[in-house]
Amino acid sequence: MREYADLARAELGATDARLQALVSALGPRALGWKPPSGGWSIGQVLEHLVVSADAYLGPMRRVMEQARAAPGADPLWHASLMGGFLARALRAPRKLPAPRRWVPSPTPRPQVLDTFRARLRDTAALLKRARPLEWNRVRLASPVTRLVRLNLGDCFAVTIAHAHRHVGQIERIRNSAGFPTAS
């Protein structure tokens, strides 16, 4: 788990750096621009990422407060059946529908980029705090449906894959024909 936690934190850092390079110099017009073929604006993608991260991070914090450190050796983390499926689906190139509660409003919150980058830092901090825990035993309900139970490692894998996926979406929006180049 410690190795996975270190790799996951490195991936979060790389995702944040890529996001910063793509979005930091954009003005409101570019953040609100939608591709002519349809879809979300960059601001809406960031809003979606904030809302979905909040749905995971709060419950993760709560279960981590009650979890005990793993005794002795560092146990290996294994994705659960559903957790592995979700993480793989988020890494696949095909389109996936967003859960209804995570569909962003037409107008994202002010400072949405900074807000999402703070969620990336929160996730990295949780990864650090979670290192001594036995991730397979720390379980919580999926924020999308209470019928699905995930372990702590699943939650990290899903949130990281989700952020990575949508930063790719932001890059595709930036590369769309007609994207406003001037801020």
Structural domains in the chain? 2-174 (1.20.120.450)
- Quote the CA–CA distance of 87 and 109 in Å, as a whole number: 27
Q: What pLDDT, on a 0 to 100 scale, did the predictor assign at position 175?
A: 94
- Give the global pTM: 0.93
pLDDT at 43 over 80: yes
pLDDT tens digits for range 101-121: 999 999 999 999 999 999 999
User: Rounded distance, CA 41 to CA 25, Å?
Assistant: 15
pLDDT category, 183, cuts 50, 70, 90?
low
